[in-house]
């Protein structure tokens, strides 16, 4: 199946079976590489983001455990994902992701590395910050809500409400050679705090009290605070 056909099918299904609210699509660059970091609530996150993203030159990192199932492997290969071993990341995988960004692609990634069992944000893994700082492209974040219930609403013949909000592109600071690990984590946490700022409070998890989140929220106009 071609990526275009897959996107059309997914988008038609989401429009038919759910209410989808998209905010901030105008923030996505129309061309050129961009890394988009998102929270990860459930199995519908990837298909929903893929179907509604207004660019076709997009890919994402996907856990290689999904290769074990023939159907998920076929779907994800159709979406041209980059397979990742989350337990033992291969440097070649990171190079492939960085090259895709530098070649002008959109790369989606979940800094938490896994789905949140509670729906609230988990601590970010530093690998995403490595990719972001090594690629010469801007970074964006998106916040998705409503997908944490998986397929249950559909099985109850309900049309769930899904919401995706995109933030504005930004540049991460360069890594500190004297303390590389700390600066990687700082940049990963920066992404997560920007995601948290787009989420309702009960989704913010471990970043709810983070000083950087308070700073971001404090710089927003009062009527945009969540």
What fold does the segment set 3-224 form as a domain?
Glycerol-3-phosphate (1)-acyltransferase (3.40.1130)
- For the chain, the domains span 3-224
Lowest mean pLDDT among 21-25, 55-59, 177-181: 177-181
Structure tokens at 176: 């500190």
Segment 207-226 shows an average pLDDT of: 75
β pairing state of 161-166 and 139-145: antiparallel
Q: Which residue has the tokens 């994800």?
A: 76
Neighbours of 42 (CB within 10 A): 18
Per-chain mean pLDDT for the chain: 90
Residue 221 has pLDDT above 80, yes or no: no
Structure tokens at 187: 């940049």
- Per-residue pLDDT at 226: 35
Decide: 122 and 196 in contact? Cβ < 8 Å: no
- Per-residue pLDDT at 108: 95
């Amino acid at each position: 199946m071609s990526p275009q056909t897959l996107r059309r099918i997914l988008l038609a299904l989401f429009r038919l079976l759910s209410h989808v609210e998209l905010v901030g699509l105008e923030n996505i660059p129309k061309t050129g590489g961009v890394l988009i970091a998102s929270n990860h609530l459930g199995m519908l996150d990837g298909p929903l983001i893929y179907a509604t993203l207004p660019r076709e030159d997009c890919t994402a990192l996907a856990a290689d455990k999904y290769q074990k199932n023939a159907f998920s492997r076929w779907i994800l290969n159709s979406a041209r994902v980059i397979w990742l071993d989350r337990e033992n990341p291969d440097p070649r995988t990171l190079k492939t992701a960085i090259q895709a960004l530098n070649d002008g692609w959109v790369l989606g990634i979940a800094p938490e590395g896994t789905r949140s069992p509670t729906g609230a944000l988990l601590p970010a893994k530093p690998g995403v910050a490595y990719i972001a700082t090594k690629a010469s492209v801007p970074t964006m974040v998106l916040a998705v809500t409503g997908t944490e219930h998986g397929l249950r609403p559909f099985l109850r013949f309900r049309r769930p409400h899904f919401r995706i909000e995109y933030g504005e592109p930004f540049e991460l600071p360069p890594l500190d050679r004297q303390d590389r690990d700390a600066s990687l984590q700082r940049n990963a946490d920066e992404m997560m705090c920007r995601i948290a700022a787009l989420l309702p409070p009960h989704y913010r998890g471990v970043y709810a009290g983070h000083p950087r989140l308070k700073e971001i929220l404090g710089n927003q106009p009062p009527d945009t605070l969540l």
